[in-house]
């Protein structure tokens, strides 16, 4: 069976599943589609508690997405330091932060015009 490219909604669900699998924290989804001149349609932002946790989240997201579809990130940045790793899936950009880096860069504040959805962790997580 050939894998097919996931729709935006399917890709979001796969990314969120990957984050939740390794207990990523404080997950927010920013919908940027109504904002002019954006680089993508969505940001998914979450925290890890350490370099190891951030890298585990990144690995889990990549595994979740590639296992279910043929999507791979177009670009990955920040793996070396593990404080802020960015996974660019073209229309969806995933930001995995350690708490101090997330607070410093304040992506949610910079994109305050975006519709933000706080993603509640699944009950069984």
Per residue of the chain (125 residues), give pLDDT as tens.
456 677 899 999 999 999 999 999 999 999 999 999 999 999 999 999 999 999 999 999 999 999 988 788 999 999 998 999 999 999 999 999 999 999 999 999 999 999 999 998 765 54
Query: Cβ contacts of residue 11 below 8 Å, gap of 6+?
Result: 65, 69, 71, 89, 91, 92
Domains and CATH numbers, the chain: 8-119 (3.30.460.10)
pLDDT at 124: 53
Sign of CA dihedral 88, 117, 83, 52: negative
Pairing mode, strands 42-47 and 25-31: antiparallel
pLDDT at 87: 98
pLDDT at 1: 45
Which DSSP helix (H) or strand (E) runs through 109?
Answer: helix 107-110
């Amino acid at each position: 069976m050939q894998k097919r490219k996931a729709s935006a909604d399917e890709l979001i669900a796969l990314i969120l599943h990957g984050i939740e699998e390794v207990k990523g924290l404080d997950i927010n989804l920013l919908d940027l589609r109504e904002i002019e001149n954006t680089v993508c349609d969505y940001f998914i932002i979450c925290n890890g508690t350490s370099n190891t946790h951030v890298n585990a989240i990144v690995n889990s997201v990549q595994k979740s997405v590639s296992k279910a579809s043929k999507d791979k990130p177009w670009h990955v940045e920040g793996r070396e330091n593990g404080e802020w790793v960015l996974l660019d899936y073209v229309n969806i950009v995933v930001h995995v932060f350690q708490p101090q880096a997330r607070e410093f860069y304040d992506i949610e504040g910079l994109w305050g015009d975006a519709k933000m959805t706080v993603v509640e962790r699944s009950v069984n997580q």
